[in-house]
Amino acid sequence: MFEVFDKYKNIIKNYEISLWENEPLTCRFKARISLIDGICFIVKDYLFLDGRKYSYQWQDNDGNLIIRWDNASHWKKIETFPHHRHEKDVILSSNEITLEDVLNYISKIILM
């Protein structure tokens, strides 16, 4: 994770890690990232023996959702199931499934 933060330091103003547990068979990571445009990005990424659970939420300063990427298994008709993103009231397919994928997506928008 930390190498990804360094790779995207051009858009990351600062970050605060609230959970980092790296055990032999599991990993849990939570962080709050402040981006250079003042917008907040919340990371939750968990790896367990039976799979991975993630949520990356990009939100404005008032806590309003811009985009959230996650792999909750409740949108079975999405082409990239279980991976999807929420934009306002729309659920869309998503190929962005890692922190690096999402930061790359966000950087293209911020640095336009």
pLDDT in tens, 49-90: 899 999 999 998 888 999 999 999 999 999 999 999 999 889
* pLDDT tier, 25 (very low <50, low <70, confident <90, very high otherwise): confident
Given a cut of 80, whether residue 1 has pLDDT beyond it is: no
Q: Model confidence at 96, in pLDDT bands (50, 70, 90)?
A: very high
CA 35 to each of CA 23, 26, 97, 104, 107: distance values in angstroms, whole numbers, following the listed order: 29, 28, 19, 13, 10
User: Across the chain, what does the average pLDDT equal?
Assistant: 93
